[in-house]
């Protein structure tokens, strides 16, 4: 991209109007307006307690059947994919074409992804749930300037996950932010994947395995998470009590002990 179109400073601040609509349709592949025409993301409202009321909490444990567990994994995977794909689209729109992509447009793009044959697996997950991912993405864009978006958005997500893990008696493992999950080959462990995040599929130069960027990263993150978990909790069940949160950045002291 660099050199081809000049530095961002050479380009107009923002492309709008008919030209922006053409870029979105032809270059970014966002389907035209239909039922999402006037849709804007409605922020998720916090509940306000009426005066004099007391909050009461209940705790349940969900034991999913194998079929339900399968559906959950599929749903989380699809949410992550849609969030990342929406993020790519919004970034690409701005960095390459100087057009702003809003929530409604990412929803229309989602409709297109669900229709496309190669991403037809998205149809197995409720579109409402997937739109929720795009809403979170939109919130992250609105709250923070371009530079801190991903970090800040994930920071809020991490706090929620940590809270939920504690609530359900589970452990959330946060790997080191520098852990190169997208660059490690999940088959042979060599660190040769592309640094360019726009590359979605790559082939490992060492073992020849072809990887989907996000799928490969997910496998690596699971392995790294399990490694850190065993480091803290021990390899045998019941050896040590699992804490609700394990953060790689806090583990320097543990590292010595194991
Ligand atoms: Zn490899």
**pLDDT per residue over 86-124, tens digit each?**
999 998 888 888 888 999 999 999 999 999 999 998 999
**What's the pTM?**
0.46
pLDDT in tens, 206-244: 999 999 988 899 999 999 999 999 999 887 777 788 888
Ligand 1 centroid to residue 192 C-alpha, Å: 8
pLDDT at 7: 46
- The CA 197 to ligand 1 mean position distance, Å, reads 18
Please, what is the average pLDDT of the chain?
81
Return d(Cα 211, Cα 136) in angstroms, integer: 27
CA of 174 to the centre of ligand 1 (A): 24
For ligand 1, the distance from its centroid to the CA atom of residue 187, given in whole angstroms, is: 5
Distance 87 CA to ligand 1 centre (A): 27
Which residue in 135, 126, 133 sits closest to 102, CA to CA? 135
Whole-number Å distance, alpha carbon 220 to ligand 1 midpoint, is 12
Q: In whole angstroms, what is the distance from residue 2 CA to residue 19 CA?
A: 22
Q: What is the per-residue pLDDT across 1-43, written as a single tens digit (0 to 9) for each?
A: 333 444 444 555 788 888 999 999 988 889 887 654 555 665 5
């Amino acid at each position: 991209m660099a050199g081809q179109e000049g530095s961002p400073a050479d380009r107009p601040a923002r492309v709008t109007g008919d030209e922006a609509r053409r870029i979105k349709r032809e270059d970014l592949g966002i389907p035209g307006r239909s039922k999402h025409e006037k849709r804007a993301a409605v922020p998720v409202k916090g509940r306000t307690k009426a005066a004099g009321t007391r909050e009461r909490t209940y705790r349940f444990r969900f034991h999913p059947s194998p079929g339900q567990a399968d559906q959950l994994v599929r749903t989380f995977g699809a949410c992550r994919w849609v969030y990342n794909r929406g993020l790519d689209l919004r970034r690409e729109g701005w960095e390459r074409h100087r057009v702003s992509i809003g929530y409604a447009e990412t929803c229309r793009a989602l409709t297109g992804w669900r229709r496309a044959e190669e991403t037809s697996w998205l149809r197995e997950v409720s579109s409402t749930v997937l739109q929720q991912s795009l809403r979170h993405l939109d919130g992250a864009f609105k709250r923070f300037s371009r530079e801190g978006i991903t970090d800040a958005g994930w920071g809020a997500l991490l706090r929620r996950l940590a809270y939920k893990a504690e609530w359900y008696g589970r452990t959330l493992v946060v790997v080191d932010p520098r852990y190169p999950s997208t660059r490690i080959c999940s088959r042979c462990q060599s660190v040769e994947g592309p640094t360019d995040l726009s590359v979605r599929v790559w082939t490992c130069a060492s073992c020849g395995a072809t990887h989907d960027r996000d799928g490969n990263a997910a496998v690596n993150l699971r392995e790294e998470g399990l490694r850190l978990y065993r480091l803290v909790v021990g390899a045998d069940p019941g050896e040590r009590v699992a804490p609700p949160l394990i953060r790689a950045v806090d583990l320097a002291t543990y590292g010595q002990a194991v």
